[in-house]
A and B are shown apart, each in its own frame.
Chain A
Amino acid sequence: MIFLNINNLNVSIEGKKILNDFNISINEGEVHAIMGPNGCGKSTLANVLAGNEDYEVNSGKVIFKDEDLLNSNIEERAQKGLFLAFQYPVEIPGVNITPFLHASINSKLKNEKKPELDNLSFAKLLRKKAEELGISNDMLKRSINTGFSGGEKKRYEILQMSILNPELTIFDETDSGLDVDALRIVAEGINKFKNPKNSYLIITHYQKLLDYIHPDYVHVMRSGKIVKSGDISLATEIEASGYQKF
């Protein structure tokens, strides 16, 4: 089975080309990191994979679990097991976390033709996962991301990931805006729920997050394509001398 294969993907927004013959393959259980300077197309990649309709896919193919991902809309991609941990999780006042997550897990289970979770089973699952991440019950009573600190928002993204248990998680600059302690807490959360059957694509500027998560592969992205691939030592090289040499 092809888990994820992106082949010659070209993407533009409002006529401006962002991804330029982009290629990558990720197998089941692998952890990949993509590093690159501002404006190189990292977040565009994350959003295109999640199905953001603001972007125009000009050409190329994205195969996910043997299916053409580009034929699916945003929610279908999520139901098939793709999860985007947002760089800036949006605040939605009035939409309570608990019923939202309950609807979310049930939409995935329904798609997998599995029995949906009743209120009690879901409440137990949510409490268990929240406890493991040190998220209080009070926080679960609040509206989505509303009034959360930067660290809380990212921890809440991890909580969603742990409940939905997606096969592919894309972390879009999850480390941005976090202080050292918050970064450590979030990274520990990711490691806690990292599952050898699932795959991860970590998009970041800095080595720090990768020090915690230990990716199998590190890629350098410039001008909408991957220009170099290697192991964690590539991240160390970037940290020491920047992106100019790539």
Chain B
Amino acid sequence: MNLENNFIKHSKEYIFSDNKILSNQRESAFKKITQKNYDKKNNESLKNITINDLSKFDYFYKPIKEDPTVSLTDDLNYEIKLFNGICKHYEDDFIEIRNLTNLDFKTLLNQDNNNLDDIIIDFNKIFLNSGIFFNIKSEAKLNIRLTHETSDNFTIFQNNFINFKKRCKVKLEDNFNLTNNSINNINYNINVEEDATIKHNIFQNFANSNKLYLTSNTVCEKKSSYSQNTYNFSDGFVRNFHHVKLNGEFSNASLRGCFFLKDKNICSNKTNVKHNAENCISDQTYKGILNDHSKASYYSNTFVSENAQKTQGYQLSKGILLTDNCSFFSKPELRIFADDVKCSHGSTIGPVDESALYYLRSRGISKNDAMKMIISSFIQEDLQNLDKDIAERVSKNLSDYLTSLVND
């Protein structure tokens, strides 16, 4: 079904459809796309995506029987399951979770992504059908395992708000458990208040009939720390666009990602950090391994505003191309308007180091095993910095990926 038919047929089903201001906003995003009022040549949000692919889909969203759940596995370890974008309302002394309601529409209007020139965000606005509000209370120290479960053929357009209150310390694990033919356009608005420390690990591993467009917009306040690690082992299309604003002094953000592609899979990545305050640190590192005819892109952007003195900003991208038919496009960018900063960027993309392969094979290691060792070593240094359970999980997924390469 084309975009217009989807919009006309389903516009009354979306949340806030009775809100005039939001409806107008929807209408204007819809017009922007149908009237092609956007940058068509250099639009980073459309890298590795065509507007036709985005526009032609069968919108499908309806309430289902399965209930979302919130459970405490043990002390301060929360298991939260979202079914087709819906959560179960829950509140205790540390955490509050609920679905967005009409009362939240002002928040939605003021959200930080309104100024982003991002076609995916426009689609999210047009078809918005779900949203979750998370509130992690001050001083809370807890672990959250969040699972997004999407049923066959569902199209999820979700806008989530997470508020990490002062001095909380949270390990958030995001899992995408998608079945078949689902489209998931998920946007996070994350606020990290003063002195809060957040470790956000995102696992993406699903079948190739699914598509995930994941966008996050994070604001870090004074002395806060936000560390995001994204692992994409999916056979389906994934877009990871993650933005951070370091608005408070002595705050830091780390946006790291690893992707492992094969067949004709495609992934599109972007990280963007804005240093708006003094003495902040950022790190953007994405690494990828590509096989067969797979394709990836990575834009990284560091913006240092005039008053953000003593900034430290680092960017790095690395890629291993296992065949001549795969490709990895990388574009690092630094825009610096302060004079007392330390910033760097680097990008290396190429095949497996033949001299390393020769060395390992000369010690009796088979070519396949030597390849596995070299590929594993590529992300080994990243695993060393992870919590043990996360590192084990990544290792297991990596091992499955390497086995699939050898069995090809």
Contacts and interface: CB of A to CB of B under 8 A. Distances in A.
A78 interface: yes
Contacts of B355: 90
Contacts of A94: 376-381
B364 interface: yes
Interface in B364-402: 364-367, 369-370, 373-374, 376-381
A60 to B, nearest CB: 21
B364 A107 contact: yes
Contacts, number: 79
Given A92-B374, A103-B369, A111 B381 contact: no
Interface string B342-378: 0000000000010110111111111101100110111
Contacts of B380: 93-95
Given A52-B358, A90-B355, A90-B356, A95 B374 contact: yes
Interface residues of A, number: 30
Interface in B304-363: 353, 355-356, 358-363
A104 B370 CA distance: 10
A90 B359 contact: yes
Q: Which 4 A-B pairs have the closest CB atoms?
A: A94-B377, A94-B380, A78-B364, A107-B364
A75 interface: yes
Contacts of A74: 358, 361-362, 367
B377 A95 contact: yes
A148 B364 CA distance: 23
A206 interface: no
Contact of B365 (A75, A90, A93): A75
Nearest to B355: A90
Nearest to A86: B359
A164 interface: yes
B360 A84 contact: no
B244 to A, nearest CB: 28
A151 interface: no
B374 A164 contact: no
A92 B365 contact: no
Nearest to A143: B377
Given A75-B366, A104-B364, 4 more contacts: A75-B364, A78-B363, A79-B364, A93-B377
Nearest to B369: A103
A104 B378 contact: no
Contact of B359 (A79, A83, A92): A92
Nearest to A76: B364
Interface of B: 353, 355-356, 358-367, 369-370, 373-374, 376-381
B361 A75 contact: yes
A108 B369 CA distance: 14
Contacts of A144: 359
7 contacts: A74-B361, A83-B362, A83-B363, A90-B356, A94-B380, A95-B380, A160-B363
Contacts of B359: 86, 89-90, 92, 144
Contacts of B374: 92, 95
B358 to A, nearest CB: 6
Interface of A: 50-53, 73-75, 77-79, 83-84, 86, 89-90, 92-95, 100-101, 103-104, 107-108, 111, 143-144, 160, 164
Contacts of B377: 92-95, 143
A100 B365 contact: yes
Contacts of A108: 364
A100 B364 contact: no
B356 A103 contact: no
A100 B363 contact: yes
A51 B362 contact: yes
Contacts of B353: 90, 92
B381 A93 contact: yes
A101 B363 CA distance: 8
Contacts of A143: 377
Contacts of A100: 360, 363, 365, 373
A58 B360 CA distance: 26
B241 to A, nearest CB: 28
Contacts of B358: 52-53, 74, 90
Contacts of A103: 365, 369, 373
Contact of A75 (B356, B367, B379, B381): B367
B71 to A, nearest CB: 38
Q: Considering residues B355, B360, B362, B373, which has the most beta carbons from chain A within 10 angstroms of its beta carbon?
A: B362
Contacts of A73: 361, 367
Nearest to A108: B364
Q: Considering residues A52, A100, A101, A164, which has the most beta carbons from chain B within 10 angstroms of its beta carbon?
A: A100
B366 to A, nearest CB: 5
Contacts of B379: 94
Contact of A92 (B360, B361, B366, B367): B360
Nearest to A88: B355
B287 to A, nearest CB: 12
Given A92-B356, A92-B377, A93-B381, A111 B365 contact: no
A111 B363 CA distance: 13
